[in-house]
Chains A and B, each alone.
Chain A
Amino acid sequence: DVKVTQSSRYLVKRTGEKVFLECVQDMDHENMFWYRQDPGLGLRLIYFSYDVKMKEKGDIPEGYSVSREKKERFSLILESASTNQTSMYLCASSLGIAGVGETQYFGPGTRLLVL
């Protein structure tokens, strides 16, 4: 069974704080993704990574950065948290086979509240 874990289920931070969200997968997946989920907006891709130290912007990267120093770990960083970044953040991973549609396995999510 693929297991994707996220460092926190709930976080409360102050405006301007630097926030780290961590995601770990245990199935040697190549691809990792960060989404945010907001009511009525679905899942929107923030950043993704196809390999260690590689990152690509998704649809809504502004205000976020990422780090992938090890294959199993993908971190999302909010350099200076703002109230409009209050959301549910979901990490996902997939195996990484070129040219084939693949299942993405999601973590349990981190609900972030920025005050």
Chain B
Amino acid sequence: GENVEQHPSTLSVQEGDSAVIKCTYSDSASNYFPWYKQELGKRPQLIIDIRSNVGEKKDQRIAVTLNKTAKHFSLHITETQPEDSAVYFCAAGKGYSTLTFGKGTMLLVSP
């Protein structure tokens, strides 16, 4: 089955800095790569996703890049703010199938 590795497990940045979280996946047939954000005490929520026919996608301060050849994808957050502090999960899936999640990255943005 699919295996998703996520790094780093924790990430501390200063407000205004950029943050990058990286994931690798094992199944070359995976074609859908969402990112979920879970604030403390709250439910995970989708923040951005990318499909395998696209190399990069942006939504304001958030971007995701995908390298299918290397089987890795990354989340980039620019101009970080304290409200970006949360646990971020990457995931991989294929078509009509379940998602396999990474173990999560705790991002702490200090004012």
A97 to B93, CA, bound (A): 13
Contact with B along A20-35 (1 / 0, CB 8 A): 0000000000000100
A19 to B44, CA, bound (A): 24
Partner of A43, one of B31, B42, B89, B96: B89
Contacts of A42 in B (CB 8 A): 6, 89, 101-104
Contact with B along A29-48 (1 / 0, CB 8 A): 00001000000111111001
Contacts of A90 in B (CB 8 A): 43-44
A-B pairs under 8 A by CB, number? 54
B46 interface residue (CB < 8 Å to A):
yes
| Residue of A4, A104, A108 with most chain B CB atoms under a 10 A cut-off | A104
B67 interface residue (CB < 8 Å to A):
no
Interface residues of A (CB under 8 A from B): 4, 33, 40-45, 48, 58-59, 90, 97-101, 103-104, 106-109
21 A-B pairs within 8 Å (CB atoms) are namely: A4-B43, A42-B6, A42-B89, A43-B44, A43-B104, A45-B98, A48-B98, A59-B100, A90-B44, A98-B96, A99-B95, A99-B96, A101-B33, A101-B49, A103-B34, A104-B46, A106-B43, A106-B44, A106-B45, A107-B43, A109-B43
| Known contacts A59-B1, A100-B96, then 9 further A-B pairs from the complex at CB < 8 Å, ordered by chain A residue | A42-B103, A48-B98, A59-B100, A98-B95, A100-B95, A101-B49, A101-B51, A101-B95, A103-B34
